[in-house]
Amino acid sequence: MSELLVKSKEIAVPGEELAIGMDFLPSYGTYRDGDKIIANKLGLVHIEGKVVKLISLSGRYVPKRGDTIIGDVTDLLMSGWRIETNSAYSAVLGMKDATSEYIARGADLSQYFAIGDWVVAKITNVTSQKLIDITMRGPGLRKLNGGRIIYINTNKVPRIIGKAGSMVSMIKDATGCKIIIGQNGVVWVQGEPEMEIHAVETIKKIERDSHVSGLTDKIKIYLETITGKKLEAQTQKYPQK
Amino acid sequence: MNDDLRSHMLKTLEKGLRYDGRKLDEFRPVSVETGVIKTAEGSARIKIGETEVLVGIKTEVGTPYPDSPDEGTIMVGVELLPLSNPAFEMGPPSINSIELARVVDRGLRESHAIDFKKLCIKKGEQIWILCIDICPINDAGNLFDAAALGAIAALQTAKFPEFDGVTINYKKLTDVSLPVSKVPVEVTVWKIGNYLIVDPSPEEQELADGRLTVATMEDGKLCAMQKGGVIPLTIEGIENMVEIAVEKTKELRSYLGGN
Amino acid sequence: MVFKREGRKNDEPRKIIAKVGIIPRADGSAYFKIGNTEAYAAVYGPRTLFPRFKQDPTKGILRCNYNMMPFSGMGNRVRPGANRRAKEISMVTEKALLPVLDLVDYPNSVVDVFIELPQTDAGSRCAGICAASMALADAGLVMKDLVCSVGVGHIDNTLLVDLDYDEEAFDGVVADIPLAVIPRTGEYTLLQMDGIIGKEDLFKVMELGKKTIGMIYEAQKNALKEKYMIEPVIAKKTAQGGIKNE
């Protein structure tokens, strides 16, 4: 007889028994031990039919192919740049992936990106040994000028972006700030000083309250209160990015 | 350091604001808790925003220096624990921890906060040595002011242990307080571009050009200073910094008991 | 003098307090207090390991550092810096935690665990291991279980759990046995002993410690859940039109 020992949205800790019986299937964040499914990290339980998995709530960023990240240049290499990714591993931006321009061998690479510059880039490859390649060729990928950088829990990034980008669009609308959210938990914000402070406060609030239900509505009210600006209703106004 | 990030921060400072919404001369919430360590003769936990520092006092009996046979002494140590900041490393004290310890030491010593003569047990033979150790738990900026505040808070509330002339009974504290007669409090003013701020966040600390730590006594007299950073300061600049420091000291002092 | 424990039962630990997430700068952190022994633990990483020759290309490595704060001892000031005792405890702590930890996803990296003791009254390595295990979970690392640790032992003929400093110093035949256990499997990851004990008594006292291991596990589990729990009361109050499932 199979039995679930936890419910969706409960917090599980490492070693906790989540289900008994072979009718359930262990997925991310869990392992099977005999007829039991056990949590192998801290996470939010998510049950989908027979599949038992955990959603991470904490931990550093793990680089994944296809992620858009924000990082800073930490070194100039023979034929590219080393970029810090806010994870255990740094990434390499090769010359041919840096710009659409042709860069001749031996050119002064700091003319393009200097040490300390911040960039938005996309991960194109992660090897088993965690060597990371990134590219700057693609829409929205660029060097960041001005603005400020904040760090957030990388596991909360989807919540801050919101469904189809709704949450971040709302903050941008209310504060007039430019905001770019890296999957690696690095966020870039640029706008008028007061508005920037509001935008950052809102992002921190979402990070803190990420599991509160009806969060989008609450953030809307919060933003209206702090900016004194009426926001339009959240319907189809914010299309998919 | 990224010049772009710095000039962007200056734009916010120009509006009289900080990145976390504070005013330039505004501290984060401060809390002082004393008697937090059972194994110490005196202790304090200081919180300034998310910065948290523990200070503990241990007493030892030693022999006086030949040139001051009737005076006890203090010893200030700072361990920048790698627990409290990802950039701190294990190993022997770094120059930063030595500087921090010496600045706190100077504030206490030069203000004559502690009557060293009263730390003498037997002239030329036995004196009390007060070991003041400062350990950050979480470094979210402004360790200087937190460390100094913790040191004086711990000293004010410490008690001597029992001593029979040979051994110290650390398990039995007497009700005799340490001879603390002055209360020096330190405030560090940081300079970023043309702006002066207090109680910096780690980000502000990193982008700052320089700092001036000023220790002030109850009567407003200064008792120790330390300039840090590589930029030169003008006389007007120093005047402004000292003025802010002295003013903010009053606020920090209000968190100490018995004042 | 005949030993008799005052104030608590022989199989009863001192009061336990566990908290998670108390060091915001760390990737994971925890606090564990048992009686007057207090431990903080902070986890940093996985992060790049330097010097490079220490890297392991097949997995991440765990590096623990146990340190007593200068004012944390029952007697004299503890001189700062590494000493032989602290180095050994750091090493056995590493070995106590490694069996539950899986770092294969992090080649060439390091997970640093810093354990700091602000005040101690015996059992400090055990408190450190309890705190470190929670901090590792808080850091989101893959681990098949938590690790729970407590000292057991005996004084003359009395079998005891969680000896304090005065008990360890009792003038009699004393044995002090720090243990760490993987709670689900009951396997031991730390086992040391100081003193003299009969073979039968050793197994009896290890059995006696099981109840405390269970209590420690509950305290750790609750502390971890508490940090991440969605407060149901707040959710009810603030959600318009009741709680919705998003």
Q: What gap in Å lies between CA A134 and CA A91, rounded to an integer?
A: 7
Q: Give the closest residue to C20 by CA, choosing from C235, C241, C226, C245.
A: C226
Q: Would an 8 Å CB–CB cutoff place B38 in contact with chain A?
A: no
Distance from the Cα of C115 to chain A's closest Cα (Å) equals 19
Could you report the per-residue pLDDT of C116-127, keeping only the tens digit for each? 999 999 999 999
Same domain, A177 and A205: yes
| Helix orientation angle between A166-175 and A193-208, rounded to the nearest 10 degrees | 150
Amino acid A233: pLDDT: 62
Residue after which a domain boundary falls, among A113, A144, A175:
A144
Q: Which chains touch B (3 or more CB pairs under 8 A)?
A: A, C
Chain A, window 28-87: residues with a beta carbon less than 8 angstroms from a chain C beta carbon: 31, 38, 40-42, 44, 56-60, 62
C40, C67, C73: residue with CB nearest B39 = C73
Contact present, A79 and C97 (Cβ < 8 Å): no
Residue of C nearest to A33 (CA): C144
Chain B CB contacts of C116 below 8 Å: 81, 83, 135, 137
Q: Would an 8 Å CB–CB cutoff place A142 in contact with chain B?
A: no
Distance from the Cα of A15 to chain B's closest Cα (Å) equals 26
pLDDT bin (cut points 50, 70, 90) of residue A228 is confident
Q: Which amino acid is at C8?
A: R
Same domain, A123 and A153: no
- Bridge partners of A52, per DSSP, are A26, A47
**Is the residue at A233 inside a domain?**
no
The architecture that CATH gives domain B3-253 is 2-Layer Sandwich (3.30)
Phi and psi at residue B8, in whole multiples of 5°?
A: -65, -40
Amino acid C233: pLDDT: 39
Same domain, A72 and A43: no
Same domain, A48 and A114: no
Sequence-separated contacts (24+) of A203-208 with Cβ below 8 Å:
A203/A150, A203/A152, A203/A160, A203/A171, A203/A179, A204/A150, A204/A152, A206/A156, A206/A159, A206/A160, A206/A167, A207/A152, A207/A153, A207/A156, A207/A159, A207/A160
Do the Cβ atoms of A194 and B11 come within 8 Å? no
Distance from the Cα of B9 to chain A's closest Cα (Å) equals 8
Q: Would an 8 Å CB–CB cutoff place A240 in contact with chain C?
A: no
Could you report the per-residue pLDDT of A110-138, keeping only the tens digit for each? 999 999 999 999 999 999 999 999 999 99
Q: Give the closest residue to C128 by CA, choosing from C85, C173, C171, C170.
A: C85
Chain A, window 54-73: residues with a beta carbon less than 8 angstroms from a chain B beta carbon: 72
- At C57, is the secondary structure helix, strand, or coil? coil
- Bridge partners of C179, per DSSP, are C150, C191
Residues in chain C, overall count: 246
C27, C109, C140: residue with CB nearest A41 = C140
Q: If 0-12 CB within 10 Å is exposed, 13-18 middle and 19+ buried, where does residue A214 land?
A: middle
pLDDT bin (cut points 50, 70, 90) of residue A148 is very high
Distances (CA, A) of A108 to A134, C42, C93, C127: 20, 42, 49, 55
Torsion angle (degrees, nearest 10) of CA B151, B155, B161, B163:
100
Tokens of A189: 């914000």
Question: Within 10 Å of residue C64's Cβ, how many Cβ atoms?
Answer: 24
Distance from the Cα of A146 to chain B's closest Cα (Å) equals 5
Could you report the per-residue pLDDT of B168-193, keeping only the tens digit for each? 999 999 999 999 999 999 999 999 99
- pLDDT at position A211 over 60: yes
Same domain, A200 and A155: yes
Q: What is the pTM of this model?
A: 0.95
- pLDDT at position A55 over 60: yes
- Mean pLDDT along residues A81-88: 97
Q: How many domains does chain A have?
A: 3
Residue of A nearest to C140 (CA): A59
Do the Cβ atoms of C244 and A214 come within 8 Å? yes
| Helix orientation angle between C210-228 and C124-138, rounded to the nearest 10 degrees | 40
Q: What's the CATH code of the domain at A24?
A: 2.40.50.100
Q: Suggest the residue from A10, A42, A64 to mutate for an interface test with chain C (most C CBs closer than 10 A).
A: A42
B37, B83, B133: residue with CB nearest C114 = B83
**DSSP secondary structure code for residue B171 in this structure:** E
DSSP-H helix ranges across C14-113: 84-97
Same domain, A30 and A83: no
Q: What gap in Å lies between CA B83 and CA C66, rounded to an integer?
A: 10
Same domain, A133 and A85: yes
Could you report the per-residue pLDDT of B41-82, keeping only the tens digit for each? 999 999 999 999 999 999 999 999 999 999 999 999 999 999
Range of the domain at A47: 3-56
Same domain, A156 and A223: yes
Same domain, A52 and A73: no
Q: Suggest the residue from A145, A148, A190, A202 to mutate for an interface test with chain B (most B CBs closer than 10 A).
A: A148
Q: Would an 8 Å CB–CB cutoff place A128 in contact with chain B?
A: no
Q: What's the CATH code of the domain at A95?
A: 2.40.50.140
Q: Give the closest residue to B139 by CA, choosing from B24, B34, B48.
A: B48
Do the Cβ atoms of B3 and A193 come within 8 Å? no
Residue after which a domain boundary falls, among A144, A170, A197:
A144
Amino acid A105: pLDDT: 81
Tokens of C155: 């004084």
- Hey, what domains does chain C have and what are their CATH numbers? 16-227 (3.30.230.70)
